[in-house]
Amino acid sequence: MIDFKDALAYLQKKGVTARELSNFSGLSAGSLFAVLDGTTQNPRKKTKDVVIDYAKKLMGDNKESFDNGVIFSSDVDILDKKDANYIKKLALEVRANEDALLQEQSFKDMIYIQALKMALLAKEGESISIKKLMELNK
């Protein structure tokens, strides 16, 4: 269960605007702006409930959760959605220049950096597997 403080932090991290929240709730954008920017420290219960409800809706829509200021994704296809075309193009380029690339230290360093990035994404809850990467490279 998400509380008001975490719901507000989630919406702020997602860049939700007062207008967007107003369209969802019917509450005035002005009062919601004051809540989102922190001017209103203790909003009414109805406003708190709207913030919580909208955060829950966005989390459900985006297959996300929020903990300790970090947004986690539970979408197993997130890599496919964001990077499939880029990875396919990169795989073709690597295959075409494999021997030359393996001779370059910078390429080896780049592969190491990408592996570290993937490890960090996985640690943050994103589902990334070698099998998925291999499928994208076919």
- CATH 1.10.260 residue ranges for the chain: 4-73
Start-to-end CA distance of the chain, whole Å, equals: 41
Gyration radius of the chain's alpha carbons: 21
Task: Name beta bridge partners: 71.
Answer: 66
SS3 124: coil
Query: What is each CA distance from 74 to 10, 35, 53, 67, in whole angstroms?
Result: 16, 28, 19, 13
Give the side-chain half-sphere CA count within 13 A for 38.
3
Are 4 and 48 a contacting pair, CB within 8 Å?
A: yes
For residues 102 and 40, give the distance between their C-alpha atoms in angstroms, rounded to a whole number: 57
pLDDT at residue 23, rounded to an integer: 96
For 4-73, CATH gives: 1.10.260
What pLDDT tens digit does each residue of the chain (138 aa) get? 789 999 999 999 889 999 999 999 999 999 999 999 989 989 999 999 999 999 999 988 888 887 777 777 766 555 555 566 666 677 777 777 777 776 777 777 777 667 766 666 666 565 555 555 555 444
Nearest-5° Cα angle at 79, 75 to 82: 105
